[in-house]
Amino acid sequence: MPVSQGIRAGKPELADVATANFLRSIIERDLRAGVYAGRRWGGSPGDAAHHVAGGPDPARVRLRFPPEPNGHLHIGHAKSIGLNFGLAREFGGVCHLRMDDTNPEKEDQGYVDAIVEMVRWLGWDWRAFGSEHLYHASDYFDFMFRAAEALIVEGLAYVDEHSAADMQAMRGDFGSIGVASVWRDRPAADSLARFHDMRDGVHADGAMVLRARTDLASSNLQMRDPVLYRIRHAAHHRSGTRWCVYPAYIYAHPIEDALENITHSFATLEFVEHGEFYDWLLGHLVRLGMVQSPPPRQYEFGRLNLSHVITSKRRLKALVDEGLVSGWDDPRMPTLSGLRRRGYTPAALRRFVEGTGASRHAIWLPDSTLEQALRSDLEDTAPRAMGVVEPLLLELTNWADEFGDADRVACTAPVHPQRAELGQRHFALGPRLWIDRTDFTEVPPPGFHRLFPGNRVRLKYGLVVECTGFCKDAHGQPASVQARIVPDTRSGTPGAERVKVKGTITWLAQHDAVPATMRLYARLFTAEQPDADGDDFRRHLDLGSLREARGFVEASLAGIACGQPVQLERLGYFVSDPRDHRAGAMVLNRSTTLRDAARLR
């Protein structure tokens, strides 16, 4: 779907997006009906016997956020996190953080650690009712194997020795029913022996698989004898080489949910077809007394997508691996680690995802809504300061006439314009100043009210100056600007406002400006849907999306704490880059401009 169809016309605001949350209604319905009221909890995940031996489950609902540790979390995951942790808290339950680590090749401990760190950073917690609820699907491999043996014995699963391509062809499609494998009706004892051989490393990868014996005529292709187990001679980051068979997602996920006593399993829409198998599998495991009743149910909601943004771990990983960005935490990345480094706050991200609710359709939002959420958070809290991105020298030629021998005069400004309690900041005006190059022009276009020869502007918190001339460098670019002070215009003195000017510019005195490297970001991708054509997303990369400027900031920022957002007046919100934060060398990331239109490049 083109983004423009999914995005409402006009100024997109978060409040415009339906915040109705149908998942909440489902939980309310089940709580009213007491569906899960009789469950017991054995103190940790486990099978039916384990839970039945425990007391009543103290959690009214158990939800889970189940990332696969094969990459860093991104803004789409923040949505799922907010939904699951938020609803669990709202209903007096708990949300488990579960590593869905059933795929040995792509996963590793570094990703596990990064995931844990980011969910915590967002402000969520998986401690509840006296224990931690951080789990790993790989801890359930024994049970999964046991359950598979039980299905085989029941005639509900069989070992198939066809190649993957043959199985794919025999599965049929929407127009034709599936063709039965010659192995489908082999004796259970035969399948069981092969399954054990698979586990014991007798066979090579791909030699055979374990399949469910479900319904080859089903209109749901996922019900046509899905693959449950594959041979993979690969080391797993937690279980090592203990296993060389690994469960498929469709089989593993319902079991993970059931062992953890999950009540509602919220999945994104691409798993709709898995729902039927989910119920089939858990129905049988309940019947066999292996998992507690009633089992969890899966419900699907629409993914969150942003324009100009890729939210696919695989593609984000490609950007990292191919060196197209500086790492997972490159501030242009939509990863949570990238957004944090860019200066996003947990509160802004939580507010953003809360505002998007949950719907049965995929949500497309303009990327500007994310920036707007950050501005809304920082507007009331960030201290203000002045900064200059591209310094141009401004000389006040009649300084001595106004101020005699003094080489500086004190100025003050509020730390925050609406919050007097935060106090004042102090800096000084001097005869030589830095202004931003974009605030001067030789020949003003219509509507330009800042500095040009003959024009007057107010130096914010300072005084009014009139431009008298400028010098060019060897390339014909302005090298310095000269101006004279207009008498009796000092900010805060009586009559200062008598001289009317149309423009106000920000500035820094050379003597107390602190040098700062400023990293200014544009969108990483130029296209609204960069991955609409599959892996061609690289074509839409903007290689100039990071610009580094050598600017200056107000001295009040000299000792700024890492992670403390500031508003540089007129320029945007900035934060000290945590990777480069050290005394004496300031490196600032621009988190966002102050307005959307002001996307300065």
Whether 548 contacts 517, CB under 8 Å? yes
Rule CB under 6 A: choose which of 50, 51, 72, 79 binds ligand ATP.
79
Q: Which is nearer to ligand ATP, 268 or 545 (CB)?
A: 268
Rg (the chain; Cα; Å) = 31
Token reading at 252: 């593993």
Contacting residues for 305 by C-beta, under 8 A, at least 6 apart: 6, 76, 311, 362, 363, 364, 365
User: Which residue from 313, 341, 450, 570 is in contact with ligand ATP, where contact means CB under 6 A?
Assistant: 313
Q: Enumerate residues 6+ apart whose C-beta is below 8 A from 588.
A: 516, 517, 518, 519, 553, 574, 575, 576, 577
Q: Is 308 in the site for ligand ATP (CB under 6 A)?
A: no
Q: Provide, rounded to whole angstroms, the least separation between the CB of residue 68 and ligand ATP.
A: 4
Q: Contact with ligand ATP (CB under 6 A): which of 312, 438, 493, 526? A: 312
Among 16, 31, 44, 68, binds ligand ATP (CB under 6 A): 68
Q: Which is nearer to ligand ATP, 255 or 290 (CB)?
A: 255
Q: Where are the beta strands (DSSP E) in 66-169?
A: 94-99, 127-128, 131-132, 134-136, 157-160
450 three-class SS: coil
**Cα–chain center distance at 436:** 33
CA 201 to chain centre: 40
Rounded to a whole number of angstroms, the minimum distance from the CB of residue 546 to ligand ATP is 23
Task: Indicate the SS3 state at residue 167.
Answer: helix
Catalytic residue among 39, 213, 224, 313: 313
CB of 311 or CB of 504, closer to ligand ATP: 311
Measured from the CB atom, is 332 or 384 closer to ligand ATP?
Answer: 332
Q: Of the two residues 135 and 427, which places its CB atom closer to ligand ATP in the complex?
A: 135
Residue 311 CB, shortest distance to ligand ATP, in Å, is 5
Residue with nearest beta carbon to ligand ATP: 76
Torsion of the alpha carbons at 460, 463, 465 and 471, rounded to the nearest 10 = -60
What is the DSSP-derived secondary structure letter of residue 11? S
Is position 313 annotated as part of the catalytic site? yes
Q: How many CB atoms lie under 10 A from the CB of residue 241?
A: 11
68 included as an active-site residue: yes
Please tell me whether residue 303 binds ligand ATP under the rule CB under 6 A.
Answer: yes
Which two structure tokens, joined as six digits, stand for 114? 């990064």
**Shortest Å distance, C-beta 253 to ligand ATP:** 9
Q: Which of 45, 66, 431, 551 binds ligand ATP (CB under 6 A)?
A: 66
Question: Which residue in 21, 80, 181, 506 binds ligand ATP (CB under 6 A)?
Answer: 80
Determine if 556 is a binding residue for ligand ATP (CB under 6 A).
no
Among 44, 218, 239, 268, the residue binding ligand ATP under the rule CB under 6 A is 268
Task: Give the residue carrying structure tokens 């021998």.
Answer: 405
Please report, as ranges, the residues that interact with ligand ATP according to CB under 6 A. 66-68, 76-77, 79-80, 267-268, 303-304, 311-313
Active site (catalytic) residues: 68, 303, 313
